[in-house]
Structure 1
Amino acid sequence: MSTSTAFAGSWKSLSIPLTSWLLDVVQSMGHTQMTPVQASTIPLFMMHKDVVVEAVTGSGKTLAFVIPILERLIRRETKLRRDEIGALVITPTRELATQVHSIFALFLSSQPKESCSQPDEQPTEPFYPPPLLLVSSDHSSPAQDLERFFLTGADIIVGTPGRVEEFLLGKGRSSVNIKELEVLVLDEADRLLDLGFQAAITRIITYLPKQRRTGLFSATMTDADALSELVRVGLRNPARIVVKVQSKKVQSNSDRKVKEAFEERRTPANLQNHYIQCRPSEKLLQLVRIISHEVSQQQSSHFIIYFATCAGVDYFFKLLHLFTAPSITYYSLHGNLTPSVRTKTLTAFSSAIPTSLSPSVLLATDVAARGLDLPNVDVVIQFDPPTDPKAFSHRCGRTARAGRSGRAWVLLVGRELEYIDFLRIRKIPLKERSYLTGSNDATPSPLEDNVTREEDPSVQLYLNRIRNYILKDRANHDQATKAFVSFIRAYSKHEASYIFRLKDLDLVGVAKSFGLLRLPKMPELKEVDRTEWTEADIDWETFSYANQAQETKRLALAEAKRANRHQQKQSEPAKKSNLAWSDKMQRKVERERRKDKRVKKNIRFKSQGSASNTTDTLKREREVPTDGDEEISAEDWNDILREERMAKRVCKGDICQEAFDAEFGDL
């Protein structure tokens, strides 16, 4: 299979010429030619057309809306006032918003200064103010966002749905003027239009003026997604732009004639997409070997590893230090981190200059899957396939960007192999790679025998090493359990549930991969076969936290539980001694008396000698007067009536005499 990078002519070939200083910035960024998505989108967006754009990751979609927005603002007859906004860009994550904001800022910081009226005057500030970023932050509140807006007079707003809604419909509703809004862009539109952001996006769009241009951009905007949402987002007669990637396969037949075939893909053309089949217990083993293979064989230096949950990122961030070279630098990024930490981590990873001797590895959730431009990423590894199948191509697209080459790996276990056909239908082809073996590890059977082969012997070595690490601090045990439980919960909610079925997953194998000391108590593990599971032999009473405050709290809770159990044991004898004088004991004595009556009655019943006389006998017994001190209660009558109904069933042959005797014979 051969691949190549496609370009669509120079920037000067556009039907509407770009402003000279914009063209200078584009060329200084190294974009000497337009990509197909830029050549198709920019002229339409500049000519007052709404657009719906679908193109693979790394194809240049960001510039396809940044340049038209800037051109429309530059070509305005009148400058926007300080309280007016001209363009609004909404993204699903703060990281993507920050990236888009930085691109706008780069262009606007490079614009020429306004001319001076007098020779001795200093150049004034740029004519077009810098863009305003609206994202959650430790250093900026919604009120401060509004203050910065009026201070700078920003024409372009970039932000996430919640913060944009607060800015437009909350504190800024009466002071921010939207009547002159020129352009609305939804970046990663399919994500913004799903249920997670649907309510906020709908309120924002309803509030914005109808006379505007709207653009929807995504790598996974399917026909169904686009058509169902066009009316809701207010697009009128939009232009649909789909930029496809085709890979050419060269085949030869028996006549030695070369035959070419083309295969459509939703992933970059220069991306090599692999999968490895393994057992759940072998996933960590394979992850470590993939990293080692890429560093030693391919001289890869920039990695992103994707996990299903935030707890999983935190836990494996610590585990990988146990099994990989100390020269590797690890970073972690997920949604539970504070905004400042997320920004600091992403900046550190993207600006790092690693080598094959000192690689950089980012462990992340899907918060780092969409839109982020990290051009130096060599390898993407999906430890857990994404819960949302659309995220698969977005994850892979963090590598092989803008014509560069890259490799992506995904680990699949058991029934998950059906995911390959599912992705093929979505035009995401995967190539099979053999199970990786370490130089010092026993070689397992070939992949074709992966189902029946024995478990890799190194699994036990890894399990022991992880357990030794966990035993150093009870906090490690808590973190391992939290990561395991969160993974099981996420797996059970997979959108492709007919493939990712929890009942088909080897949960004991998963627990081995996490290195658990014992299986947690949870409903999903009630019926699990534990023959392959061995718990760690430790004294849980003395297993302590390294943190003294945590250990003091644990000991206090344990002591409270022991005191509570002791108090319950002390109160039990007194409770029993009081029962003899309570109403409960009196009722018990009454039940014993009624039981004796039934015994005597059944003796008389059996003396009749025939089941045919059972009903008449019971009727006669009901007519027998009782002694004055032996009043028959309602419960006695209910028992007698139940016996009468059972006796009728004996007469009809519905039940046998033995069943009747078993029910009432020994009372």
Structure 2
Amino acid sequence: MVNKDWFRITPALSKPVLNCINAQGFKTMTPIQAAVIPLVLSCKDVAAEAVTGSGKTLAFVVPMLEMLLKKSKEPPLRRDFVYAVIISPTRELATQISKVIEQFLQEPDLNHMTLAVLVGGRSVDADMETLHRGAHIVVCTPGRFSDLLAERKQLNLPGRLKELEFLVLDEADRLLDLGFSATLTTILQYLPRQRRTGLFSATQTKELQDLVRAGLRNPVVVSVKEKSTISTPVLLENYYVIVEPQDKFLFLLNFIRNRRMVKGLFFLPTCACVDYWADVLPVFLTDIKVFAIHGKMKQKRTRVLEKFREAENTILLCTDLLARGLDIPEVEWVVQWEPPSQPAALVHRVGRAARGGAAGCSLLPLLPSEDAYVPFIRTNQMVELKDWRKSKDEIKISEKLRLKVLKILHDQQKKDRSIFDKGQRAFVSHMRAYTKHECNLLLQFKELPLGHIATSYGLLKLPLMPEIKQEHKDQFVGPVEEIDFNSITYKDKQKEASRLQKLQEYKKTGVWPSKKKKKMAQSQPWEQAKQNKEDKKQRRKKRKELKQKVGAEGKKGKKRKAITQEELDELAADVALMKKLKKGKITEEQFDQAFELDK
């Protein structure tokens, strides 16, 4: 029987919607649902903030269906009109929302409503065909929806939206984090003002407040938080552990082996890291199914996620692509390789466990140089991390085990050059990502023992990176025997044939053939390259100011103070230099030197 809370909604929910709520087992109304649903049904715009896993999806799906059910009585909904739009940051979250809605639309009194999912990874023509057939409810990602609105004139999507009843921006803070601010502004320009708007997020930011002012009319702000001093679900236990850099993989490997979890998420720093460990881990975890997903996968992402949902005794390697919105109640553990680049992302990562009132745990390994992150994240994000070493479950790492695991990692790379390549790319991309941490005062790249970290990756050799010093080479533990790296072959016969052809050319010319010539800047340390980029930006800014100055001097009829002959001569020389640059008689470097912009 449905909990009485659902009957206290004013105005009351209709029988078809209540039947669906009952059939799906949503017996207890969460605080965010109790606060938001009555407001939306009473025609209010809402900006809602609640911790992850608090039931935000149902908070906007239920009132949306109520509004459309009421509108469909007389006259009926038009087949070619869109009455509700839900925008989410990722296609995985959009698909998840659509499945919740589909369960409601199976109710006989609601099955006349049609639903479309418009996301990347499929052809635009297929989405246009779907809209031509009719879709009363659209769940989409911002990029695809903006493209259909602004670029596909033959579809006339703005015309189909003129009776839009409800717009939802789900995980709105994540939409802005991913750089969709301009896209959302474009979308809002096409939508009718006479609509209800719901903005849902787990955190509030200044950018989000700007979006509220731009897209909502006199919104009611709803903030629902747990009755505790932490920002994560009450039943979620968060742990950290201090490990030596060369032992991080070994510790996490044994930790996963000992857990016997139904489902677990393993967050890695980059897409390249996911690719490498997805090849390496199955050799060690023979009784656990290992799946992998990241943002560079296109068609495969939905299929992989479905397999993960259906499997048991499994772990999913992923990037922060899945840090938001993913709702899989069976996830028991969230394991992370290192802290996310943004402190707020830690809340979202660990929130993939302990969903819907279930218990869950998370583990964050830290290097000895990163121990200050624990009090920082407690103060900054109100996340309390407990020391795993104080628990009864102790994981011991012996020298014998360390050497055994290292040999297996080395052997995998020697058997297939693609794994060797992936290991090199994973390490380099990981180090590059580490330099971009927002809290870089605590997580300092210069403090990293790069040789020890490369050992943890099981690399056969250190990559060619300007950041690697002699001390790092001394730290690195590679294979015992000498290796001829040119003798390592690809299992893929086509790739191996191409490599052998290039190898022959290299032996003749001494230069490895490549499609693209590498720029010299790539051989510079990342921090130096960043400084060079900033210097170039400043030179461009000064050049722009100079152009504006010259343009102002050329305007007729503008009164100004008398200028000296010396200033006229200097201006004439500046104009002459600009003309030479424009005609290609001098280079940009010579131009900059003439103005002393590079000093």
- Tell me if TM exceeds 0.5: yes
Counterparts of 1:594-605 in structure 2 under 5 Å?
none
CA-CA distance at 1:35 after TM superposition: 0.4
Q: 1:137 aligns with which of 115, 121, 145?
A: 121
Does the alignment pair 1:562 with 2:471?
no
Counterparts of 1:245-256 in structure 2 under 5 Å?
245-247=226-228
Q: Deviations over 1:129-154 (max 9, x none)?
A: x211001234xx22221221121x21
Does the alignment pair 1:240 with 2:221?
yes
Larger-gyration structure (1/2): 1
SS in 1 for 2:49: strand
Does the alignment pair 1:294 with 2:259?
yes
Alignment partner, residue 143 of structure 2: 162
Q: Deviations over 1:476-503 (max 9, x none)?
A: 2111101111111111112222222211
Counterparts of 1:408-447 in structure 2 under 5 Å?
408-425=362-379, 426-434=381-389, 438=395, 441-442=397-398
SS in 2 for 1:275: strand
CA-CA distance at 1:434 after TM superposition: 1.0
Q: 2:31 aligns with which of 22, 36, 49?
A: 36
Alignment partner, residue 70 of structure 2: 75
Does the alignment pair 1:105 with 2:117?
no
Change (3 A) 1:323 1:185: same
Counterparts of 1:466-485 in structure 2 under 5 Å?
466-485=409-428
Counterparts of 1:188-587 in structure 2 under 5 Å?
188-194=171-177, 196-222=179-205, 224-232=206-214, 234-247=215-228, 264-295=229-260, 300-324=261-285, 326-339=286-299, 341-352=300-311, 354=312, 359-425=313-379, 426-434=381-389, 438=395, 441-442=397-398, 458-526=401-469, 528-536=471-479, 537-565=482-510
Point out 4+ residue stretches in structure 1 off by more than 4 angstroms. 435-439
Q: 1:45 aligns with which of 40, 47, 54?
A: 40
Counterparts of 1:170-189 in structure 2 under 5 Å?
170-172=151-153, 175-176=156-157, 177-189=160-172
Q: Deviations over 1:371-392 (max 9, x none)?
A: 1110111111112322222221
Q: Deviations over 1:555-574 (max 9, x none)?
A: 222221221249xxxxxxxx
SS in 2 for 1:26: helix
Structure 1, unmatched stretches of 5+, are 1-6, 114-125, 248-263, 443-455, 567-667
* CA distance in 2: counterparts of 1:350 and 1:546, whole angstroms: 31
Q: 1:54 aligns with which of 40, 49, 58?
A: 49
Alignment partner, residue 614 of structure 1: none
CA-CA distance at 1:210 after TM superposition: 1.6
SS in 1 for 2:343: coil
Q: Deviations over 1:348-401 (max 9, x none)?
A: 11122x2xxxx1111111111111110111111112322222221111111111
CA-CA distance at 1:411 after TM superposition: 1.1
Structure 2, unmatched stretches of 5+, are 512-599
CA-CA distance at 1:102 after TM superposition: 1.2
- Contact map agreement 1:52 1:226 (CA 8 A) in 2: no
Change (3 A) 1:70 1:473: same
* CA distance in 1: counterparts of 2:61 and 2:402, whole angstroms: 50
Q: Deviations over 1:406-459 (max 9, x none)?
A: 1111111133222222221211111111187546x44xxxxxxxxxxxxx6643
Counterparts of 1:621-640 in structure 2 under 5 Å?
none
* CA distance in 2: counterparts of 1:207 and 1:416, whole angstroms: 47
* CA distance in 2: counterparts of 1:363 and 1:36, whole angstroms: 32
Q: Is the deviation greater in 80-89 or in 91-100?
A: 80-89
Q: 1:94 aligns with which of 91, 95, 112?
A: 91
- Contact map agreement 2:455 2:477 (CA 8 A) in 1: no
Question: Sequence identity, in percent?
Answer: 40
SS in 1 for 2:485: coil
* CA distance in 1: counterparts of 2:507 and 2:471, whole angstroms: 31
Alignment partner, residue 112 of structure 2: 127
Change (3 A) 1:62 1:268: same
SS in 2 for 1:110: coil
SS in 2 for 1:167: helix
The alignment's TM-score, normalised by the length of structure 2, stands at: 0.80
Q: Deviations over 1:300-353 (max 9, x none)?
A: 3211111111111121122222323x22111111112222x111111111122x
Q: Deviations over 1:516-569 (max 9, x none)?
A: 111111222246532222443212232333333323222222221221249xxx
Structure with a larger share of its residues in helix? 2
* CA distance in 2: counterparts of 1:31 and 1:337, whole angstroms: 34
* CA distance in 1: counterparts of 2:477 and 2:29, whole angstroms: 60
Which amino acid is the alignment partner of residue 533 of structure 1?
F
Q: CA RMSD in A?
A: 2.1
SS in 2 for 1:541: helix
* CA distance in 2: counterparts of 1:345 and 1:280, whole angstroms: 31
SS in 2 for 1:166: helix
CA-CA distance at 1:174 after TM superposition: 5.7
The alignment's TM-score, normalised by the length of structure 1, stands at: 0.72
* CA distance in 2: counterparts of 1:9 and 1:384, whole angstroms: 44
- Contact map agreement 2:449 2:472 (CA 8 A) in 1: no
Change (3 A) 1:8 1:417: farther
Which amino acid is the alignment partner of residue 316 of structure 2?
L
Change (3 A) 1:542 1:226: closer
Which amino acid is the alignment partner of residue 55 of structure 1?
A
SS in 2 for 1:231: helix
CA-CA distance at 1:104 after TM superposition: 1.3
- Contact map agreement 1:275 1:409 (CA 8 A) in 2: yes
